[in-house]
């Protein structure tokens, strides 16, 4: 069975919305990772500022760890920005595709209405032709 243009576009919209959902999940994952890194950074800062003699002996290690966490936070911030842009792009594609699907469906409905009117006219002409 031949599919109409609107049906094909509907399938594409469904796929596009799935891609959008995947982008949202990636963004949420990155945001969660950033929160975890921020929490770890807070713990390391508390350890560095601690007056406990155990923490004082590891202060050099803690400062190195803090530097690595800062780098990881910056990298995750860049990744999150990329995911946000991807999400906006995927959402815009989906919206445009959905608009095209609605336009195609409207055109198909108009064509079906026109065809039914033409059929009625043909039937009326055929009926008038049989009366003569």
Residues in the chain: 132
DSSP state of 58: T
Kindly give, in sequence order, each residue whose CB lies less than 8 Å from that of residue 45, ignoring residues fewer than 6 positions away: 66
What confidence tens digit (pLDDT) does each residue in 29-69 have?
999 999 999 999 999 998 888 877 777 788 888 889 999 99
- Does residue 132 have a pLDDT over 60? no
Percent share of the chain, pLDDT over 70: 96
Tokens of 122: 């043909």
Cα separation, 36 vs 51, whole angstroms? 25
What confidence tens digit (pLDDT) does each residue in 95-119 have?
999 999 999 999 999 999 999 999 8
pLDDT number for residue 131: 66
58 and 15 Cβ atoms separated by less than 8 Å:
no
Predicted TM-score (pTM) of this structure: 0.76
pLDDT number for residue 61: 86
């Amino acid at each position: 069975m031949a599919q109409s243009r609107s049906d094909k576009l509907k399938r594409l919209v469904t796929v596009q919305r799935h891609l959008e959902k995947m982008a949202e999940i990636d963004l949420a994952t990155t945001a969660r990772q950033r929160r975890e890194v921020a929490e770890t950074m807070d713990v390391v800062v508390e350890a560095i500022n601690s007056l406990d003699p155990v923490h004082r002996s590891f202060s050099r290690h803690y400062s190195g760890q803090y530097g690595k966490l800062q780098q990881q936070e910056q990298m995750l911030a860049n990744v999150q920005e990329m995911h946000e842009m991807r999400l906006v792009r995927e959402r815009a594609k989906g919206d445009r595709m959905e608009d095209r699907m609605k336009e195609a469906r409207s055109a198909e409905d108009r064509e079906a209405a026109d065809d039914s009117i033409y059929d009625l006219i043909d039937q009326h002409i055929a009926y008038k032709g049989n009366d003569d």
